[in-house]
A and B are shown apart, each in its own frame.
Chain A
Amino acid sequence: MIPFDYRRPDDIGTAVATVTGNPRAAFLGGGTNLVDHMKLGVAEPELLVDVTGLTSRDIERLPDGGLRVGAGVRNSDLAADPLVRERFPVLAQALLSGASGQLRNLATTGGNLLQRTRCVYFQDVTTPCNKREPGQGCSALEGYHRHHAVLGASRQCVAVHPSDLAVALAALDAVVRVQGPGGERTIPAETLHRLPGEHPERDTVLEHGELITAVDLPGLPFGPRSRYRKARDRASFAFALVSVAAALDVAGGLVRDVRIAFGGLAHKPWRARLAEDALRGRPAAPDEFRAAAEAELADAQPLRDNGFKVPMARNMLVSVLTELSAEDGAA
């Protein structure tokens, strides 16, 4: 841990300029991840720019039936919001399955998306880790990797992204609004996080100094028929072994539309496009769901100790879709 300065600028422009101009500055949300990393020496910012008072803490209605969530909205407030619960239950469920009540009271929407992997080697500066220090090597590859990736990993890094919120957002086609030194841009939530490839040190496509200001949830008519399921070692207060976010639209016994994302399988929320494509227009039936899940997971490359994740993910998807199609029975 090193000494650091702390600022609360009055406007977003100043905040962005301050961080952009200082490679050792960082935005501060609730601090529940960043401050831990500072204590552990994993992050050593010399300047913290607190943005909790700058980014919106409001949830606004969008004309298309969607919602705009300010980056400063606390996880607990987002999960409790009546519109979120009504229109996007998957999102509220994902949030409530994460962390603990105390943490959710502090954690912000922006900070949650940008929390870093829980890989034990990443969090211990005495062990090699390419994500923390490119070129050191990946300790997890041959080490303790029960929680690690089975899809999309590289030899450089096999970590998974831990956020539950991000998985729900990826499934919902959410759009992340970002303010940078050159102005505003939008990034589909699905592409915010990257696969590790040769650069595991980069979790996301954001540039240093880019501030998340809000997340837009586009209207989704079948959003109310969505669900988040998370498998974990403890009944609460544990990161996902595997999680599934799904929304399903069934008409006349056929899948009209579907959204699926997995958590706990990859370096990013894993939008299951293969499974979605396989299902559209097919009967909403367990064997179809199973075939779709298997298509999505066909390329899985488990490590020595995490092979269980593949059948776990498959079974969970089949059950979630089966439950949603039963819910949807009237349609």
Chain B
Amino acid sequence: MTNLLSPSAMGTDRVRVDGAAKVTGRARYACEHPVPHPVYLHPLQATIARGTVRELHTDDATALPGVLTVLTPFNAPPLETGTDAELEILQSPEVAFRGQLIGAVLAETPEIARQAAGLVRARYDREPHDVTLSADRDDLYAPEVVNPSLPTDTHDGDPDAAFAAAQRAVEATYTTPMLHNNPMEPHATIAIWDSDGLTLYDSTQGVHAMREVVTSVFGLEPDQVRVLAPYVGGGFGSKGTPHANLVLAVLAAKRTAGRPVKFAVTRQQMFSFVGYRTPTIQRVRLGADADGRLVSISNDVVEQTARIKEFAEQTGVPARSMYAAPNRRTTHRLAALDVPVPSWMRAPGECPGMFAPEVAMDELAEACGLDPIELRVRNEPETDPDSGLPFSSRNLVACLREGARRFGWDRRPRLPRSTLDGGWWVGTGVASSSYPVHSAPGSSATVRATGGGRYEVLIGAVDIGTGAWTVLTQIAADALAVPAERVDVRIGDTDLPEATVAGGSSGTTNWGSAIVEAAREFRQKFGADPHPGDELTAGMPELPGHERFAMRAFGAQFAEVRVNADTGEVRVPRLLGVFAAGRILNPRTARSQFIGGMTMGLSMALHEESVVDERFGFVVNHDLAEYHIASCADVASVQAHWLDEHDPHVNPMGSKGIGEIGIVGTAAAVANAAYHATGVRVRDLPIKADEFLEEAR
């Protein structure tokens, strides 16, 4: 058990340290850094989904005044090979998916670059492509592990026999569509390759992670590369690993004799090469006794990956730990298609993997004649069903009860399709949320006294809009036992001590633990009254609890849904979540994380869907007019609450990650509420008006 840091600044409502700079426009995002004489890059993208680029006619483009050069697979600088097929662009003329980067125009202005890109004519040798995901393909395969390195399949007991013998059963297939992350700030890079080496201003979730990949792809040493990301306009996972756009910018910078290269990805291009969430097909079987006690749980998942590089979303994982049942199975099978490489999107695995089982639980509750909350309470496990370890803390039931109280669950009519109000069918639904407490080694922090009782804390973390900068300031203040006003935290630069990526809701755990350790050692060495310039660097200590306990945050989400009786239009006037996620370090930034996640979950439930036209092999609704994300008018009342959860095992702050749990379970709560409103069970996201218009079904 860790000695928890005693909270003073932690837990208080502090405004963001970067807030004023952001709202006044002084915060500089990647492409806004002033650099002398930049060159602008516009990419060339494949318009076939599979085949070979035979020729690229670049004469018209290069003849345009203001064009410096056109990079192609036939003239691009070489990269180290064998590192990462997604990143090895322009190294061969092969095309593995439509929209793949096959070149770039470099020009004096963005307009000229874009015009010239339109003048490049490609000739291809086309091959038939295959982008169709289905559960009955005969070439589905089992990956060796699923993201990040979890077992592909799990088997406990005899789930099929138990299911066959169960007194109550639900068996259904649920699907979630392809989704694109679409942070507010599209991916953007300034790459400067001069005598000092390579400098990158990049919109990224991890400066050190980017540097590591760039050094390996370009055969460089870490001290030759500096990555800066002081402000980042969101990422949702799509900036957690480098994508081909970064490599293209750096390749281009090799050709501009030290002039900076700016590459700001357009919104349309974000649907081609910066990652996305795989569509999922989930076959769920729940078997229970007549009292609703689960005897069998299985989730057999089919999803896609790219032919050139595997990414296996861990969609089956939540079913391993959520509820107690002696017989359980999860499996993952992939189709390797001629598609872009899928990647992380907010709560990979957990988010789609809680949609299907949590709707199935609603169906089981109905089959058992039980309230859906009661069903979940009856299946609360003593220990983690997957690992057998005790939970460091698990307050799902408390969240369900507190949520029910706040939401007014007791007023809910038992039967679906019971309430028609002003031409709208009204219903309510519930689902559980859960997200693991991740931690990863590799972060360190420097504490430096700057005189007058002030301190600088240095760590190469990135605040992608989460509030990390602010929360790290609060942690550092408590670790040093000084007021937060006396601490300046510096982040977002590889010249600062190494930090892990902002992902897996693990930033606060990793970076905060490193800061606490550095502060502790600093005080040990220099005492309470250090000299200006005294400094100490320490790494994140091991967190022993992570070996002995299963660690997860839990939550419960409640939705009210209205379905228009004439049109089938679906609206969500009310969402309410209650979370148990350890100590909440800053209620203001935490609330933003929760309601942001819930809003994104609402968007997933009702709106978001990347539509692939199989004939062409790409996403055709590739802009924000066609790929709908919930607008302000769609988001009425979204409330997030939390329990005071004490968990001494997770880390020195007693906190669990909160960046992702908000999106887990929301879509199921909405789907369950839509069922309760109408009696129509929708198992395929997004939930559209079409489903509720009888003649359309």
A, B bound? yes
A interface residues, Cβ below 8 angstroms from B: 1-3, 39-41, 118, 120-121, 123-124, 126-127, 139, 142-144, 146, 231-239, 241-242, 307-308, 310-312, 315-316, 318-319
Inter-chain contacts of B567 with A (CB < 8 A): 231, 241-242, 312, 315-316
Residue of A nearest to B688 (CB): A233
How distant is B322 from chain A, measured CB to nearest CB, in Å? Answer: 31
Q: How far is the CA of A307 from the CA of B690 in the complex (A)?
A: 8
Q: Which of B300-356 contact A (CB under 8 A)?
A: none
Contact A144 B631 (CB under 8 A): no
Report whether A235 and B634 are in contact in the complex, using a CB–CB cutoff of 8 Å. Answer: yes
Complex alpha-carbon distance, A273 and B569, angstroms: 27
Task: Give the docked Cα–Cα distance between A126 and B121 (Å).
Answer: 12
Cross-interface CB contact of B613 among A143, A239, A310, cutoff 8 Å: A143
Cα A316 to Cα B565 with chains together (Å): 10
Residues of B within 8 A of A316 (CB): 566-567
Query: Is the C-beta of B23 less than 8 angstroms from some C-beta in chain A?
Result: no
With A and B bound together, what is the CA distance between A39 and B269 in angstroms?
13
Listed by A's residue number, 16 A-B pairs whose Cβ atoms lie within 8 Å are A1-B118, A39-B114, A41-B118, A120-B611, A124-B620, A126-B47, A231-B564, A231-B568, A233-B569, A233-B688, A234-B634, A235-B631, A236-B631, A236-B634, A242-B567, A312-B566
What's the Cα separation between A146 and B611 when bound, in Å? 11
Q: Kindly report which residue of chain B lies nearest to residue A128, judged by CB atoms.
A: B616
Which residues of B sit under 8 angstroms from A307, Cβ to Cβ? 695-696
Q: Are B607 and A233 in contact (CB under 8 A)?
A: yes
Quick one: closest A residue to B119, CB to CB?
A2
Contact B569 A231 (CB under 8 A): yes
Option from B47, B621, B634, B696 in Cβ contact (under 8 Å) with A144: B621
The answer to whether B626 and A120 have CB atoms under 8 Å apart is yes
A155 CA to B693 CA, complexed, in Å = 27
- CB-CB under 8 A from A143, the residues of chain B are 613, 615, 620
Q: CA of A315 to CA of B423 in the docked complex: distance in angstroms?
A: 11
Residues of A within 8 A of B613 (CB): 127, 139, 143-144
Are A120 and B621 in contact, with the CB atoms below 8 A?
yes
A311 B47 Cβ-Cβ under 8 A:
no
* Nearest chain A CB to B64 CB, angstrom units: 10
Give per-residue flags for B558-586: 1 if the beta carbon is below 8 A from chain A beta carbons, else 0.
Answer: 00000011111101000000000000000
User: Does B220 sit at the interface, judged by CB under 8 A?
Assistant: no
On whether the beta carbons of B693 and A121 are closer than 8 Å, the reply is: no
Is the pair B114, A234 in contact by a Cβ cutoff of 8 Å?
no
Encode B610-624 as 1/0 by CB contact (under 8 A) with A. 010101100011110
The 6 closest A-B pairs by CB, nearest first: A308-B696, A315-B566, A235-B633, A236-B633, A231-B567, A308-B690
A residues less than 8 Å from B694 (CB atoms) = 311
**Closest Cβ of chain A: how far from B416's Cβ, in Å?**
21
Q: Which residues of B contact A139 (CB under 8 A)?
A: 613, 615-616
Is the Cβ of A238 less than 8 Å from the Cβ of B628? yes
CA A319 – CA B696 in complex, angstroms?
19
Measured between beta carbons, the chain A residues less than 8 angstroms from B634 are 234-236
CA distance A41 to B108 in the complex (A): 20
- A312 and B615 in contact, given A235-B571, A319-B423 (Cβ under 8 angstroms): no
For A236, the chain B residues whose CB sits under 8 A away are: 631-634
B538-576 interface code vs A (CB 8 A; 1 in, 0 out)? 000000000000000000000000001111110100000
Report whether A1 and B633 are in contact in the complex, using a CB–CB cutoff of 8 Å.
no
A319 CA to B567 CA, complexed, in Å:
10
On chain B, the residues within 8 Å of A310 by CB distance are 695
Contacts of B115 in A (CB 8 A): 1-3
Q: How far is the CA of A139 from the CA of B634 in the complex (A)?
A: 31
Residue in contact with A319 in the complex, picked from B118, B566, B631, B688, CB distance below 8 Å: B566
Q: Is B630 an interface residue (CB 8 A)?
A: yes
Other-chain contact of A127, B620, B626, B630, B631 (Cβ < 8 Å): B620
User: How many Å from the CB of B189 to the closest CB on chain A?
Assistant: 21
Q: Mark B86-125, 1 if CB is under 8 A from A, else 0.
A: 0000000000000000000000000100110010000000
* Residue of B with least CB distance to A235: B633
- For A120, list chain B residues within 8 Å (CB): 611, 620-622, 626
Tell me the bound Cα distance from A241 to B607 in angstroms: 14
B621: which A residues are within 8 A, CB to CB?
A: 120, 144
At the interface, yes or no: B689 with Cβ under 8 Å from chain A? yes
B633 near A234 with CB under 8 A, answer yes
The residue that B689 contacts in the complex, of A126, A308, A318, with Cβ under 8 A, is A308
- Identity of the chain A residue whose Cβ is nearest the Cβ of B565 in the assembled complex: A315
Query: Is A121 within 8 A of B620, CB to CB?
Result: yes
B616 neighbours in A (Cβ, 8 Å): 126-127, 139
- Asked if B423 and A311 sit within 8 Å, CB to CB, the answer is no
Q: How far is the CA of A235 from the CA of B566 in the complex (A)?
A: 15
Q: Which residues of B contact A231 (CB under 8 A)?
A: 564, 566-569, 689
Q: Which residues of B contact A311 (CB under 8 A)?
A: 693-696
- B569 surroundings in chain A (CB, below 8 A): 231-233
* B114–A1 CB distance below 8 A: yes
CA distance A312 to B696 in the complex (A): 9
Contacts of B688 in A (CB 8 A): 233
Q: CA–CA, A237 to B632, complex, Å?
A: 9
> A232 vs B626: C-alpha distance in the bound complex, in angstroms?
12
Cβ-neighbour of A234 out of B268, B607, B620, B695 (below 8 A): B607
**In the complex, chain B residues whose CB is within 8 Å of the CB of A41:** 118
- Write out the residue numbers on chain B whose beta carbons fall within 8 Å of the beta carbon of A40: 268
Q: Please measure, in the bound complex, the distance between the C-alpha atom of A13 and the C-alpha atom of B214, giving whole angstroms.
A: 59
Bound Cα distance from A39 to B688, whole angstroms = 31
Considering the chains assembled together, what is the distance between the CA atoms of A43 and B522 in angstroms?
A: 64
| Alpha-carbon separation in the docked complex, A1 to B119 (Å) | 10
Query: Assuming the A-B contacts A121-B620, A319-B566, are A1 and B628 also in contact, with contact meaning beta carbons closer than 8 angstroms in the complex?
Result: no
Question: Given the complex of chains A and B, what is the CA–CA distance between A40 and B565 in angstroms?
Answer: 39
CA A239 – CA B118 in complex, angstroms? 29
Q: With the chains together, A12 CA to B67 CA distance in Å?
A: 38
Task: State how many angstroms separate the Cβ of B81 from the closest Cβ of chain A.
Answer: 29
Q: A124-B622, A234-B630, A234-B633 are in contact. List 8 more A-B contacts (CB 8 A).
A: A1-B115, A123-B623, A139-B615, A144-B613, A231-B569, A234-B631, A238-B628, A310-B695
Residues of A within 8 A of B689 (CB): 231, 233, 241, 308, 312
> A121: which B residues are within 8 A, CB to CB?
620
- The reply to whether A308 and B625 form a contact with Cβ atoms under 8 Å apart is no
Chain B residues within an 8 Å CB radius of A318? 566
Contact partners of B633 in chain A: CB under 8 A:
234-237
Residues of chain A within 8 A of B695, CB atoms compared: 307-308, 310-311
**Residues of A close to B615: CB separation below 8 A:** 139, 142-143
Contact B47 A312 (CB under 8 A): no
Give which listed residue, B111, B565, B571, B631, contacts A237 with CB less than 8 A. Answer: B631
Distance in angstroms between the alpha carbons of A235 and B572 in the assembled complex: 10
What's the nearest-Cβ distance from chain B to residue A158, in Å? 15
Closest-by-CB residue of A relative to B112 is A3
Closest to A308 in B: B696
Q: How far is the CB of A241 from chain B (nearest CB, A)?
A: 7
Q: How far is the CB of B80 from chain A (nearest CB, A)?
A: 32
Nearest residue in A to B566 (C-beta to C-beta)? A315
Which residues from chain A contact B111 at a C-beta distance below 8 Å?
Answer: 1, 3
Contacts of A124 in B (CB 8 A): 620, 622
